[in-house]
Homo-oligomer: A and B are copies of this chain.
Amino acid sequence: MKLPLKGVIPPVVTPLLDNNTLDIKGLENLVEHLVTGGVHGLFILGTTGEATSLSNELRKEFIKRTCDLVNHRIPVMVGITDTSFDGSLEIAEFSQKAGADAVVVAPPYYIPISQTEMMDYLENLIPRLPLPMLLYNIPSYTKLHLAVKTVKAAKELGAIGIKDSSGDMLYLFTLIDEFKKAPDFSIITGTELFMPETILQGGHGAIGGGANMYPRLFVDLYEASVARDFEKITFLREKVMRLYNTIYSVGKTSSRYTKGINCALSAMGICNDYVAFPLRKFEGEDKKKIEQYILEFDGIMN
């Protein structure tokens, strides 16, 4: 895998038929949709991919099938965080055997921990990982906002980058500033809206759920950002903004982002919209709204 990791890396949804069954045909469609859409890598088993809701067996099947379908055309990164240390290691080892390129590690997320505990955890974990690793900062889910010193410690231990889903742009810019002399360390935003700022400021890419639906739109926005083509950035970002005001705004639960993307992919005929417990897929009015948006966006978003 070439470093630094960069570009558009969708946090791939996990197409499901039910709580325990992959939508295999849907997964095939989705992978082709994304690879032919030009994305630069895939991040599977993240928050959008409902990793924590899947059984271990299902996670493994998903890893294996995705790696096989991608077949090394682009890098595949796997979220491995489990609340148990050995659970994380096990998925990391499986990922390596399945042909994945890197793993992604967030803080264990049940017990609130300190920066020191996280550093100690990484000091023990990273040397035992069989693949390169990226950090994953998502404090609203893990209860820990990774301090810059923790990120620096992780880099010393071998981390190749960080995905930041804090939504805190000052933090993102601080990271970019802090690591500007380490050009192989990737700063990747997990807030798709911030992709242009991330790139313009010296960061490397975006892991944004919207790229599941419209990979080309995000790839174009990435390229416009790299080229510093401001007319185009403005034009394309307005489209991304529309996703926020439409698909991501349906429903009231905090998981509406995940549900909306799954529902949209189903409306686009790509894969099934089942979401695993404890979430429930959109039905009725919510579903109709998403379907209507997808119709309106036809030919516009990509």
Contacts and interface: CB of A to CB of B under 8 A. Distances in A.
Contacts of A108: 52-53, 277-278
A250 interface: no
A223 to B, nearest CB: 16
Interface residues of A, number: 62
Interface in A37-72: 47, 50, 52-56
A292 interface: no
Given A52-B84, A278-B117, A109 B109 contact: yes
Given A167-B170, A253-B113, A277 B121 contact: yes
A58 to B, nearest CB: 8
Interface string A111-126: 1111011101100110
Interface of A: 19-20, 47, 50, 52-56, 83-87, 107-114, 116-118, 120-121, 124-125, 140-141, 167-170, 173-174, 177, 191, 193-194, 197, 200-201, 228, 230, 234, 237-238, 241, 244-245, 252-255, 258, 276-280
Given A53-B85, A54-B84, 11 more contacts: A53-B83, A56-B84, A56-B87, A84-B277, A112-B254, A113-B254, A113-B278, A117-B255, A167-B168, A167-B169, A177-B238
